Amino acid sequence: MRLPGERQVAELTLVVGPCRSGTTAVLRAAAATGHPAHFQPLKRLVRHALLGEESRFVLPPGPGPAVLKETFGPFLMAESVFDPVSVLSGLGIPSHLFSLVVTLRHPVDMYLSWQRLHRANGRFDGIDTEVFAAAFRHTLALHRRARDSGLRATAFAADALSDRRPEDVLPVLFDRHGLTYTPAAVHWPTEPDALDTSMVREPEPELFRAPGALDGVRRAAAFTFRAPRADREPKGVPLQVTELIDPYERFAAQSTDDLGGSA
């Protein structure tokens, strides 16, 4: 990974969260309004490195703001605890040039979504609960460190915003991060390949490809907060998952503060 030579690095909005927490929807909203949108380029480097393969990513040049989304999990610990903020800082990018959108979803809902993702990828056994919990807690820690350091950061929890319209929430989110909002952020093209052509997505190792992982956001015609919700105390959900409910609810309250409205 390297900087774009003599050209100025674009302002970056980094969208981070565990898999299945809404990162792709936020990235697609940014892509639909014309921002350069990069689909987990740093995680791709991690995955190639785990297999002993070489890969690279060149940070987008300026002047316009770009958006990178990075997810944690769902298969291996190494892809659940890497720190994209430290990577960017280590490259010498000053903190005023990038900001952080942190996405989370109720842990029970997200755990069940990870189960569906693992079933779609027969190369891995069932969910490693330690990996799931690590990805969730790592996201919370990144958010906490960002706020403590003064980095521009927004908590984004769709559960806390489900009583509001995306048309009201996304302009606030975009404004907080210096992104240009248009109605296209909410109302997406419906062509079958619209998602794939609206963002930069480099091939990942075959081992990590999960068929159907993006079907929901690929088929969607609009940004929505109305995701199905599971029983909050279903049988068979490990204790490591239910222990995440209290910290998630505190994060959700912060999301409401950041983006307005009532929980």
Q: What CATH fold (topology level) applies to the domain 12-259?
A: Rossmann fold (3.40.50)
Collect all residues with Cβ–Cβ distance below 8 Å to 215 and sequence separation of at least 6.
Answer: none
Q: For residues 17 and 155, is the Cβ–Cβ distance under 8 A?
A: no
What is the spatial order of strands in the sheet that 66-72 belongs to? Answer: 37-39, 66-72, 12-18, 98-104, 153-157
pTM above 0.85, yes or no: yes
pLDDT in tens, 135-183: 999 999 999 999 999 999 999 998 889 889 999 999 999 999 999 999 9
Domain boundaries, the chain: 12-259
Locate 38 and state its tokens. 């990069």
H helices within 94-200, ranges in order? 107-120, 129-149, 166-176, 194-197
Instruction: Please give the DSSP secondary-structure letter assigned to residue 183.
Output: G
pLDDT in tens, 114-146: 888 777 766 666 789 999 999 999 999 999 999
Question: CB burial class (10 A; 0-12, 13-18, 19+) of residue 173?
Answer: buried
